Amino acid sequence: MVFADTYRHSMLLTNPLQFVINAIYLLPALVVGIVGHELAHAAVAVARGDQTPRLDGRLSISPRQHLDPLGTIAAFFIYFGWGKPIRLNPYRMRTAWDPALVWLAGPLASFLIAIAISIPLKLLLTSGVLGLESPPVQLLLVAFYFNVLLAVVNIIPIPGLDGYHFLGALLRRRFSKLFFQLDSNRQVILLAVIVVLIFAPLLLGATVLDYLYAPVAQLLLGSGVRPIGF
């Protein structure tokens, strides 16, 4: 979902070395981010009475249980990925509010991971011991960047994202017709979002995700610094 400019779109062809470097930095960020995000969903669901994620093996820390093949591949090209959809049975949960807590748990976990990474990262950036281009700083910065996007993007109420599921868990019964229409037009909505992301840089001078990432980076790191080549 990142459409910054032509350079980013064609990096594999124009700068394959930078693409490989980015992929190396992204791999640990992807594993930690997706596993932590999906495991949080599963753990909260089980804690609230639904054992379905446990039966599906989703309480494991094994990446094989959580990484989605397409979501993993996408992360290396658009710097945003997703995990395998989690199965839930809301009727097994203790209260009607519990499904909403399950969907909130993923973005919250990603944000907490980003906060944890920001602590040593900010120390390294402010101390000047290592430069921005040093591998340890870039490794932490990529992991921070990925988890911030994983948290912030997922709270957007777009069909397929946690924010939409969260609102659905709270409001679907009251506004059943509205959610039926949204579900029926899921592909059109996603296409509209993609168009906005593609053309936003032409109108705003930056990607939509740049605007989502920058405030969090400013808050936690004291600057909008982002990984080199991203």
Please report whether residue 144 resides in a domain: yes
For position 225, what pLDDT does the model report?
93
Q: For the chain, 230 residues long, give each residue's pLDDT as a single digit of tens.
A: 333 443 454 555 567 888 888 899 999 999 999 999 999 999 999 999 999 999 999 999 999 999 999 889 988 887 888 899 999 999 999 999 999 999 999 999 999 999 999 999 999 999 888 888 899 999 999 999 999 999 999 999 999 899 999 999 999 999 999 999 999 988 888 778 777 766 766 666 667 778 889 999 999 999 999 998 77
Q: Which two tokens stand for residue 230?
A: 């991203």
For position 202, what pLDDT does the model report?
Answer: 64
Q: In this structure, is residue 118 part of a structural domain? A: yes
Report yes or no on 169 lying in a domain.
yes
Report if residue 227 sits inside a domain: no
Can you give the pLDDT at residue 42? Answer: 97
Domain membership of residue 230 (yes or no) is no
Instruction: Name the burial class of residue 62, with classes exposed (0-12), middle (13-18) and buried (19+) by CB atoms within 10 angstroms of its CB.
Output: exposed
In a domain, 121, yes or no: yes
Q: Residue 46: which domain range?
A: 6-221
pLDDT at residue 36, rounded to an integer: 97
What is the pLDDT at residue 221? 95
Give me the residues paired with residue 83 across strands. Answer: 67
Domain contains 163: yes
> Could you tell me if residue 226 is inside a domain?
no
Total domains, the chain:
1
Residue 107 CA neighbour count, 13 Å, CB half: 18
Residues 6+ apart with CB under 8 A from 158: 164, 189, 190, 193
Which residues, in sequence order, are bridge partners of residue 67?
A: 83
